[in-house]
Amino acid sequence: MKAKSILFFLLAVAASFFAASYRWGDSAHSIGLIKASGGTARHASVLASGEGTYTLIATAAVIPPYRGDARVVLEGEPRIDHAIYLSGPVVDLGLRRNPKLRDNVIHGLQPRDRIALWVVMKPPMTDPVCGAPYRDGFFGVSHEGRDYVFCCRRCAQAFSLDPERYWNNIGVRGRYQLAFYDTKTNRPVLSVPVEFQGKEKAGDECGDRH
């Protein structure tokens, strides 16, 4: 019995260690400060390139004396389709004031408020060879059950010659920023760096101008 207990204890520690150290590539959590002079996040939010949908949970506290409305913008190229939601009571009985989100603007921020935004992002597919984001005129190719898009025949040919090199290059890469701007002054009050990291680098020259 004692041996069984020790075994289960060790198994629980090992499984917990794996669970704790495993990083999910499709979501990240940022903690930041909203300041009149420009607040920052504690660290960049890192996401793994190649996923279909991502969720960024951006929590922030408002540092006095800032008060006002803040417009939230996801900045970076290529543009990512996204939706922003603000956590709040499902049924608001009006017992306490809460900031509200309308048209990506957080209204009524006051000192010491805490907010939690959920940003759901759907990046475009990219050409795995040159990294160009999908647009009209691209054509699709299926390889080993996976769909790829190409801007030109040259890229498709480069892919077919060496698919191992490019197979995982289907998502956006690089730095984005979830920026909060005060609506009156248009000055940034919080910047949250968001980084899409891939296993390999896209961006080989294909000759086409994108």
Partner 1 sequence: MSAETGIEKRFFFKRRTWILLLSLVLFLPPLSLLFQFTQDSSFCGSWCPRMFFVWRRGETAGTLLFGMARSYMGVALVLGAVASTFFLGRFWCSHVCPVGGVSELGSWLIPAAFKLRLDSVPAASVRYGYLAAYLLLPALGLGSLCCGYCNFATVPRLFGAPFSDADMAFFFRSAGVVNLGLLVGLGFLTKGGRGYCNLLCPVGALDALSSCFGERFGRRVRVDEECCSGCGRCRDECPVWAIDVDKKAGIDQLSCIPCGMCAKVCPEHAIGYGLKTKTAEERVPAVPSYALTGQNGKDLAA
**Where do contacts with partner 1 occur on this chain (CB under 8 A)?**
1, 4-6, 8-13, 16-17, 19-22, 24-27, 29, 53, 55, 59, 83, 85-93, 95-96, 98, 113-114, 116, 118, 120
Helix, strand and coil in the chain, % to nearest 5 = 15, 40, 45
What CA–CA distance (Å, rounded) separates 117 from 182?
16
Q: Decide whether 121 or 152 has the Cβ nearer to partner 1.
A: 121
If you write DSSP's letter for every residue of 28-75 in order, what string do you get? EEEEEEE-TTTEEBSSPEEEETT-S-EEEEEEEEEPTT--EEEEEEEE
Residues in the chain: 210
Q: Decide whether 11 or 135 has the Cβ nearer to partner 1.
A: 11
Nearest distance from residue 138's CB to partner 1, in Å?
26
Q: Number of C-alpha atoms within 13 angstroms, CB side, residue 114?
A: 3
Nearest distance from residue 122's CB to partner 1, in Å?
10
Q: Decide whether 91 or 161 has the Cβ nearer to partner 1.
A: 91
Nearest distance from residue 139's CB to partner 1, in Å?
30
Q: Decide whether 89 or 140 has the Cβ nearer to partner 1.
A: 89
